[in-house]
Amino acid sequence: MGVSSYRNINNDAWKSFRGYLNDYAGVEVEHLFRADQKLDRDTISIASNLATQGAMSDFSSAWEAMTPAERNKIRADYIETPFAGGNSAYLETHNRIHDQFLRLLNTHTYYDFFMITTKGDVAYTVAKEVDFGASLFSPSLRDSGLAKVFRAALKSGTDGAVFHNDFAAHGPSNGKISSFAATPILDRNGKILGVFAIQAGLEFSRSQLGQWSKAKSSYLVGPDRRIRATSGDNDDLKPILYTLRTAAVDKALAGETGYLIEDDFMSGRKSYFRYQPIRMLDEKWALLVGMPVDEIEGLAARSVRGQMEIMALIVMLASLFGVVLSRRLTSPLLKLTSLMRAFSKDPSTKLEGKIFERSDEIGQLGKSIREGAALIRQRYESFQNKILMHAHESENKTNHLQSVLDNSADGIVTFGEDGKLESVNRAICEIFGYQESELIGRPVDFLF
């Protein structure tokens, strides 16, 4: 994506396509919110499971009882052979929990699960990579995303609190671009037993983007302006390696929503983008949804040609009517004129009467006009049906999206270009203790 275009996108033809982009963006936002909330729900659900709590307690005890040499041996054995033996207490706990965690991992689009002691030792992972058995306070791991969410969860000690970090390369996973979510594991008395964490790769966000809307291009961009996900199945594209420094990204990260024509990063085609901010992994990201300009202009041209064909047919019929009228100004023609005027105001008007049953020139003219009117009516009704269908689909999507936002556990707000709140969901009102009417129209800084 490159320099923004100054093509006139404020005329009626272009404005009509904004509705499509709004719908596409709404669908993308809905599924991204669902994915974000699913990650939190899965993290909390697994951590609060009694089996997880029991395993965390037993892992911690077994790990604490081992000498450094025993820990190093069991770590080396399991990294080489994930179903290795070793310390009997550790082995018993591992065998009890591993199959369950392995099934859970294979069911979801996550990369690995972690159970970490309060001292920062990674006592269990499913994948058994080199971070297994290591200390998150060691020089090689203390600045990792896993260590950061561990420290946040341990410091919080709050039941149901989930902490995230943005996508970055994780060395123990051969540099795999990963994000981590973590929550404390508590016993029945609220004592911290350890921390549970989930590792998600870029496929976590890519699996949600572009799968549900008809947009040709969708981009999810982080606060560092690096691509987090794109629509489509471009396996050769490693999103985190590419930076998008465009006007649309800058405006979205600044909290703005709008429309711009820019070069599409993947295809290189001029595309019409809708940009907006979106909250992901506790940070403000940018969402861009677009369609190629040449495709939009092609659709607009076909629409104009259709309108011109109808106008040409009307002109032809009017000319034919004028020729006959100039020859014979009779009562039947005046009747035909009256019917045509009614039809021009309401294409659903039925053209009926004895004038259409005549066998003379006037009757032939009436039949020709009625056939032309039938064609116009057919196109008119088809055009109306398309408008009503699109309006109905837009209303359903809008209502569905509003329902998702209203019932979301996360607080969600929208605000205009002037930075003033335009809407808030129920969670925002509950979090800040205001009525919706007290927040609408206030600056967004009033909350944040």
Averaged over 241-267, what is the pLDDT? 88
**Highest mean pLDDT: which range of 154-168, 265-279, 415-429:** 154-168
CB 362 within 8 A of CB 333: yes
270-305 pLDDT, tens digit each: 888 889 998 877 788 888 888 888 877 766 555 545
pLDDT-derived band at 235 (thresholds 50, 70, 90) equals very low
For 40, 42, 55, 157, 427, the CA distances from 47, given in Å and listed in that order, are 11, 8, 10, 13, 24
Would you state the pLDDT for residue 320?
60
Averaged over 244-257, what is the pLDDT? 92
Averaged over 99-114, what is the pLDDT? 90
Q: Is pLDDT of 116 > 80?
A: yes
Would you state the pLDDT for residue 2?
40
Instruction: Tell me the two tokens of residue 255.
Output: 């909290």
Q: Is pLDDT of 5 > 50?
A: no
User: What is the spatial distance between Cα 362 and Cα 335, in angstroms, rounded to a whole number?
Assistant: 11
Q: Which of 55-59, 131-135, 146-150, 282-286 has the lowest mean pLDDT?
A: 282-286
Would you state the pLDDT for residue 181?
95
CB 321 within 8 A of CB 336: yes
Would you state the pLDDT for residue 134?
94
CA 309 from centre of chain: 39
- If one compares 328 and 260, the residue with the highest pLDDT of the two is 260
Mean pLDDT score across all residues of the chain: 78
Instruction: Tell me the two tokens of residue 99.
Output: 């199959």
288-347 pLDDT, tens digit each: 888 888 877 766 555 545 555 565 556 566 666 555 555 554 567 667 677 677 666 666
Question: Phi-psi bin for 328: left (phi > 0), alpha (psi -120 to 50), beta?
Answer: beta
CB 355 within 8 A of CB 362: yes
Would you state the pLDDT for residue 355?
66
Would you state the pLDDT for residue 348?
66
pLDDT-derived band at 365 (thresholds 50, 70, 90) equals confident
Which helix (H) or strand (E) element contains residue 291? Answer: strand 283-292
CB 152 within 8 A of CB 138: no
Q: Give phi and psi for 69, each to the nearest 5.
A: -65, -40
Going along the chain from its start, the domains and CATH numbers come out as: 12-35+208-293 (3.30.450.20), 48-204 (3.30.450.20), 296-399 (no CATH), 411-446 (no CATH)
pTM > 0.85:
no
CB 44 within 8 A of CB 417: no
**Highest mean pLDDT: which range of 163-172, 189-198, 214-223, 369-378:** 189-198
